[in-house]
Copies of this chain bind each other. A is one copy, B any other.
Amino acid sequence: MSPKNSTAVAEAAQTISANCLAARVRLLHRTITGIFDEALRPLGLTDAQLTILVVVANRGPVSPGAVSRRLNMEKSTISRNIARMDKNGWLTVADGESGREQRLTVNAKGKALLVKTLPVWNEAQTKAKAVLGQSGADSLRSLGNAVWSQLGRE
């Protein structure tokens, strides 16, 4: 490879390394979800499942498609997550009136889990704030809110 191309390689690598938003959001994702998943593990649920549980609790009865749009998650991702949560006995999946939409509701076991989870979630949230700093946590929260608004959620 010519010196010219060699320089191009180094420049590309440095530019991407110094700026890439994808690398940074993945780092944050690994760091933060690691904190939450570790905290939630004794309860048997993951932070992704908690997020879905909360949406269903706040809006149920609600269809998987609506949850998918609300969270900007692919419908197949929701489908499989719902299946796990159903298997764990936290949700009830009922046929909707239309015959193709389903109706999800959090059942008694799921509600009890949610209440039991709150203090654990709170602890994880505190740890995450410690890692991000208060202003970092604020930034992340408002960034998330902004993207949500922009997605034209339901």
**Residues of A that sit less than 8 Å from B by CB:** 1, 5-6, 8-17, 19-33, 35-36, 47-48, 50-51, 53-55, 57-58, 71-73, 106, 108, 111, 114-115, 117-118, 121, 124-125, 128-129, 131-133, 136-137, 139-141, 143-148, 150
Contacts and interface: CB of A to CB of B under 8 A. Distances in A.
Given A28-B144, A28-B147, A147-B28, A22 B128 contact: yes
Contact of A139 (B8, B33, B48, B143): B143
Given A16-B121, A51-B20, A111 B144 contact: no
Contacts of A20: 47, 50-51, 54, 121, 125
A145 to B, nearest CB: 7
A72 B27 contact: yes
Contacts of A50: 16, 20, 22-23
A21 B32 contact: yes
Contacts of A145: 24
Given A21-B128, A132-B143, A118 B12 contact: yes
Copies of this chain, tallied across the complex: 2
Contact of A137 (B21, B36, B71): B21
Contacts of A48: 26
**Which of A106, A139, A143 counts the most B-chain CB atoms under 10 A from its CB?**
A143
